[in-house]
Amino acid sequence: MRSTPETPPDIYHPADGLSYLFLDFNAYFASVEQHDHPKLRGRPVIVTPLKSEYTGAIAASYEAKVFGIKRGTKVRDARVLCPDIAVMPARHDRYVAMHKILMQEIERHLPPVKIYSIDEAAYRLSRSERKPAPAIETARRIKRALADNVGPALRASIGLAATTLLAKLAAERVKPDGLTVLELDDLPGRLADMPLTDIPGVGAGVAARLARAGVTDFTELWNLQPKHARAIWGSVMGERFWYGLHGYDTADEPTKKSMIGHSRVLTKDHEPPDRARIVARALLLKAASRLRHYEMHAGGLSVSLRLRPEGRWEARRRFIHSQDSFRFLKSLDEMWADYLEYRQADNGATRIGGVTVYLHGLAKPEDMAMQQGDLFASAASEQSNDKRARLWRAVDRMNADQDAKFRKLSGAGLSAPHRKQIGLASQSGLDLNYLGAKIAFARVPDEAEFLY
């Protein structure tokens, strides 16, 4: 049954029937090996990251699972459990190429909503397909097309439900080659036996926090209120999870932001490029802070300079999605160097009358699960991105506290001349090595350099 919170935020609406089809390829890497090597079909196969008896399998075919072999089983142990096992070294390029072929085939039947990983994706059903009978017919048609047009070795489990989260949980129910319909009326009973850590969005950390809040099984999770979920998760992700679990959709979110930016007309003092650059950097830091507030990541930066006496200079850069102000500042500096070159060609006659910076290509973390090239992204670089994002969020919080104090004092009619924002040392004219591990912060004495 759908449970209704008192006032769901605008962006959520009750989903209309079985809106999503979630497709999860079974033992994907092993299946690609069976597809490419027909002799391996129907046989126990494991895929390993390197040629070693001590490495763990990164995939095991269903025929291997029968022997108790699974992801993580050491090659040496797998040979003991099943002397007949075929051990195949991983071919990541091939798995990516095959992924594209499979996605193309499915897209002939349904529009994709989100590609979650190399072997998982969600698709939207049309209005006429959202009842169980037509939804199941569409799912069967996709399974037939995959078998006939790509190959019978590449089987998938399909889930049909009101939201992408529920459709994924439905797909998890039957493996391999499953086809499961999960309706809201079946909940929470139908998933009562599901371990919490099997649910996407419930990692070990969240599971521990849930346990501390007394939530140890699916039914108790189901019975939470959205606000409580938000508190347990420690972010808006908890609320989003709650709505997804209870059949509320956000897919047609009308207010989806596509860019965040700031603009400033410059006074005469700030017309010279080195002064205008400080303003551009401050505008960018402000935009980055708002980006993090919305829990979004940006994939590009645009800069537009209004020139005096006339004209405009514009530049645009793209980068891997990030929340990291250092990355954004580095991109700005590269563009600024281009501008200085342009200006030199102009004999330095122009002055800067206005600055606009925009972060664009905005995405939420769940939209970024699989950008091409990130499939096998280095964990180290992700970790350092994560660390930096946390660092910047800490800075955002400190600055917000300062703002709140300032507003309180001003509101009480007291003067508060000493509001200080935390910024980069380079904002006060010092140089900063962006790429180095050393991150320099300083209280910036000159408030005027910061724009609110």
State which of residues 69, 88, 116, 119 lies at the interface with Mg ion (CB under 5 A).
119
Residue with nearest beta carbon to Mg ion:
119
Give the residue with the Cβ less far from Mg ion, 119 or 396. 119
Give the residue with the Cβ less far from Mg ion, 32 or 210. 32
Give the residue with the Cβ less far from Mg ion, 78 or 121. 121
Candidates 13-21, 52-60, 64-72, 115-123; binding stretch for Mg ion (CB under 5 A)? 115-123
List phi, psi (to 5°) of 363: -150, 150
Give the residue with the Cβ less far from Mg ion, 119 or 239. 119
Are 302 and 357 within 8 A, CB to CB? yes
Shortest distance, position 218 Cβ to Mg ion, whole Å? 21
Q: List strand residue ranges (DSSP E) for 74-132, in order.
A: 86-89, 112-117, 120-124
Give the residue with the Cβ less far from Mg ion, 24 or 396. 24
Shortest distance, position 379 Cβ to Mg ion, whole Å? 20
Shortest distance, position 409 Cβ to Mg ion, whole Å? 56
Shortest distance, position 279 Cβ to Mg ion, whole Å? 50
CA angle 350, 352, 358 (to 5 degrees): 135
- Chain centroid to Cα 296, Å, comes to 9
List phi, psi (to 5°) of 181: -100, 130
Candidates 21-29, 171-179, 202-210, 339-347; binding stretch for Mg ion (CB under 5 A)? 21-29
CA angle 318, 323, 328 (to 5 degrees): 50
Residue 333: how many other CB atoms lie within 10 Å: 15
| Token output for 193 | 């036996």
Encode burial over 248-285: b for 16+ CB neighbours within 10 A, e otherwise: bbbeeeeeeeeebbbebebeeebbebeebbbbbbbbbb
What is the rounded radius of gyration, in angstroms, for the C-alpha atoms of the chain?
27
Amino acid at 201: G
Number of residues forming the site for Mg ion (CB under 5 A): 2
Candidates 18-26, 302-310, 340-348, 444-452; binding stretch for Mg ion (CB under 5 A)? 18-26
Shortest distance, position 157 Cβ to Mg ion, whole Å? 8
- Confirm or reject binding of residue 172 to Mg ion (CB under 5 A): no
Give the residue with the Cβ less far from Mg ion, 121 or 162. 121
Candidates 23-31, 37-45, 81-89, 208-216; binding stretch for Mg ion (CB under 5 A)? 23-31
CA neighbours closer than 13 Å in the CB half-sphere of residue 38? 2
Are 51 and 89 within 8 A, CB to CB? yes
State which of residues 24, 63, 239, 396 lies at the interface with Mg ion (CB under 5 A).
24
Residues found near Mg ion in the complex (CB under 5 A):
24, 119
